Structure 1
């Protein structure tokens, strides 16, 4: 059953249950009152209709025939006759406890609950002339036990309290889960990624065994969705905090990386501008070459920074055309073997075909593979073996870049493709921390995918796959 239908069913069933409980309490109350507390006696020995017939109005006064009055006295009865406003017009043998003026509620109360006054009452309403009269004939109760009066009041009170408790229970069973959900949403909106708990610590929605309580099972999908949302928001917050921390570290590192070549440039320009020295042409050329390398390094840092944000925002235009992936990787590998760090490393290049065509941007794909192979070179000790293997499937091409170096820790693997991240076990601390992120973004932009496998002290393997059929890229 869908959540909406289940909530509607839950609401209607609880409302029906509340009405049923109230009806049951009312029925029990009526039965009990009529059985135990309304102590009826047999009719009085003088019928009240006989008294009504014997009542006369003479000179504006109410009188009753003497034989009827004698009969009332003989049978220990008492009589009151009231006008339209409940005021006494005539009485005989009336007990001192009975009032001379009645309200409608008082008369009904004394009639229904005889234990209250100690007398059973018989009443009659009729007009004599133009005046509406009420006759009250009273007879003392044979069993005048005050317990009945107070028990009756306590029973009514018990019925009212029971009804209220049932209403509160049903209202709580229906409303508590909704209030819990509202509190949970308020927590999420205020940045508290935790399910609301009660004063003793455990969450309200679950039992000691961790299962949802019966009242909350109706909202199972909603509770699960909120829990998933909470975990996502919590993870996003942690990732954001980690990104900010990493960004700060990256800015510190890049600032340091830029400061070093700037210091070199500043030193050489100061020397070349000094009038105290006369520099030879070869010396000036040497200074210029050093300065050029430092400038190229700074351009590389700035280019990495610019490239990663253009890739992230999908603003980079690719110049696509058919390229031979085997030739591209072979040239890239040969160029990287000339690096100083690669002098004592062994390279192996394998391909099952000489021509494997894909469609893409040659320069950016070369940049992506350069970063991957460079990672194997710069973060491993000398004598490391590096293999580049290309194989073609039915409709895809797979590139494996593998080394038998130091490998990576689990923490490094989890964040290797994050922007600004620099591995903690790196043997080479230079770089922007953007190279691996750039490689992944370029590969994904060419509708490829990349995965990494690594084990500490055993090496690392990058696996890249592209479709060999012509692809449509967004420019």
Structure 2
């Protein structure tokens, strides 16, 4: 069942149960009232009020009761009163001293409904005789009196209210607790507290059935908030790590820029000094060193910009069907001219003369140059570097490039961080002109072309880079 349907069902069912329980309480209260009324009126006198009215006589418009009826009243320990329209007693017989001789309408009704209050039971009759409005009141003491029943009868409304409050709290907790919990969770996230609240951890373990019922309705929402919390927490940790590594990298870059700048500044001071008259060869030598340092700085800034542009997809990749065999051959020929490549042994193998790939040639060249240059720069003389190009006929078709060397290899930590941005900067020395971003850029370019790169290496056994691209079917 979808979340909105389940929430609607949950609320409707709770409202139904609330109405049902309230209905039962109302019916129960009516039954209790009827019970107490019947209980206290179940005693009926031997003389009926009708008989007394029938045997009432008037002498000079004053009512009285025949002697036979009076004898019956005495024998049954009963009394009678006749009241006028104002509630004043105009006749009475055998009335106890505690019985009032005047009644208000409400007082008479109260005594009639609650006989246990005054320890007697009343019956009343109204009639109009000789233009007189008369009320007959027949009374008899109660044979049994239970004060507890009277107080229960008076306090039943209070009990119903208390029960209603308990029910309201129960259903309010069921309906409101999960929503308040979710709101507090969202509020906690808005304040940057990316941790699951206590009750959510409790929700993830076994609970009593009522807790399961309350929170099970919102399980998708709870799961979404849990995923969001984990994502925000992970992003914060990654951002903190990124800020830390960026700061470390910027420190390294600042140092790397400072070194060539100090060289350039030193030679500039020498060339501009009036104390020396430099020969032309010396000037050219100084200028050459300054040019190399400027080129390194330019390369460092370019790599720095390129890695961020690739990461944010702001560089448009122009894809065209180009021959990857020819591209790799050009890359190798170019890299063989590096000073560090003079004492390395290169080989190239391809199972086809032409293998076409949808690529941006300039960027693909840059990626392979960085990977192969890594093998050239970080291995001793006479290292064998082999590039193998193979087209796999499996579905989907793939082209696989393997760059292998038998050099010094890498330790596990270096392999783990090899493609990470800011992991290592390289100082600007004459022996190493790298910027420390080459492998990061290579990986980003390969991924931008829908490929992947993996590395296998062991110390003193060499390194193998495996680069794979998908070939689109025409």
Superposition TM-score, scaled by structure 2 size? 0.81
Q: Does 1:398 align with 2:433?
A: no
**3-state SS of 2:349 partner:** strand
Equivalence for 2:19: 19
Judge conservation of contact 2:128–2:134 (CA < 8 Å) in 1: yes
Cα distance between partner residues in 2 of 1:220 and 1:254: 49
Q: Which has the larger radius of gyration?
A: 2
Residues 146 and 301 (structure 1 numbering): CA distance in 2 closer, same or farther, change over 3 Å?
same
Cα distance between partner residues in 1 of 2:324 and 2:160: 87
Q: Which moved more, 1:327-336 or 1:234-243?
A: 327-336
Residues 48 and 431 (structure 1 numbering): CA distance in 2 closer, same or farther, change over 3 Å?
farther
Post-superposition shift, 1:149? 1.9
One of 445, 449, 452 as aligned partner of 1:450: 452
Residues 384 and 289 (structure 1 numbering): CA distance in 2 closer, same or farther, change over 3 Å?
same
Q: Does 1:214 align with 2:213?
A: yes
**3-state SS of 1:367 partner:** helix
Cα distance between partner residues in 2 of 1:58 and 1:52: 15
**3-state SS of 1:224 partner:** helix
Post-superposition shift, 1:145? 2.2
Judge conservation of contact 1:412–1:423 (CA < 8 Å) in 2: no
**3-state SS of 1:39 partner:** helix
Post-superposition shift, 1:172? 1.4
Judge conservation of contact 1:337–1:343 (CA < 8 Å) in 2: yes
Equivalence for 1:178: 179
**3-state SS of 2:247 partner:** helix
**3-state SS of 2:286 partner:** helix
Equivalence for 2:203: 205
Cα distance between partner residues in 2 of 1:411 and 1:179: 49
Judge conservation of contact 2:253–2:425 (CA < 8 Å) in 1: no
Residues 319 and 128 (structure 1 numbering): CA distance in 2 closer, same or farther, change over 3 Å?
same
Q: Which moved more, 1:187-196 or 1:346-355?
A: 346-355
Equivalence for 2:305: 306
Equivalence for 2:7: 7
Q: Deviations over 1:87-131 (max 9, x none)?
A: 632274266376955574x66554444323322233445667999
Judge conservation of contact 2:260–2:297 (CA < 8 Å) in 1: yes
Question: Equivalent residues in 2 for 1:46-65 (5 A)?
Answer: 46-50=47-51, 64-65=63-64
Residues 453 and 88 (structure 1 numbering): CA distance in 2 closer, same or farther, change over 3 Å?
farther
**3-state SS of 2:325 partner:** helix
Judge conservation of contact 1:21–1:163 (CA < 8 Å) in 2: no
RMSD between aligned alpha carbons?
Answer: 4.0
**3-state SS of 2:217 partner:** helix
Post-superposition shift, 1:161? 2.9
One of 440, 463, 468 as aligned partner of 2:466: 463
Q: Deviations over 1:174-200 (max 9, x none)?
A: 3222222121111122211122225xx
Equivalence for 1:437: 440
Equivalence for 2:348: 349
Equivalence for 2:41: 40
Equivalence for 2:117: 116
Point out where structure 2 has 5 or more consecutive residues left out of the alignment: none
Cα distance between partner residues in 1 of 2:109 and 2:373: 102
Q: Does 1:274 align with 2:273?
A: yes
Superposition TM-score, scaled by structure 1 size? 0.81
Q: Deviations over 1:36-93 (max 9, x none)?
A: 783333322332345556789999xx95423388365654345567788xx6322742
Cα distance between partner residues in 2 of 1:467 and 1:24: 72
Residues 435 and 35 (structure 1 numbering): CA distance in 2 closer, same or farther, change over 3 Å?
same
Q: Which moved more, 1:317-326 or 1:216-225?
A: 317-326
Judge conservation of contact 2:457–2:464 (CA < 8 Å) in 1: no
Point out where structure 1 has 5 or more consecutive residues left out of the alignment: none
Equivalence for 1:373: 372
Q: Deviations over 1:195-244 (max 9, x none)?
A: 2225xxx8453445799723211222221111111111111121222222
Residues 115 and 263 (structure 1 numbering): CA distance in 2 closer, same or farther, change over 3 Å?
same
Judge conservation of contact 1:250–1:432 (CA < 8 Å) in 2: no
Residues 109 and 183 (structure 1 numbering): CA distance in 2 closer, same or farther, change over 3 Å?
farther
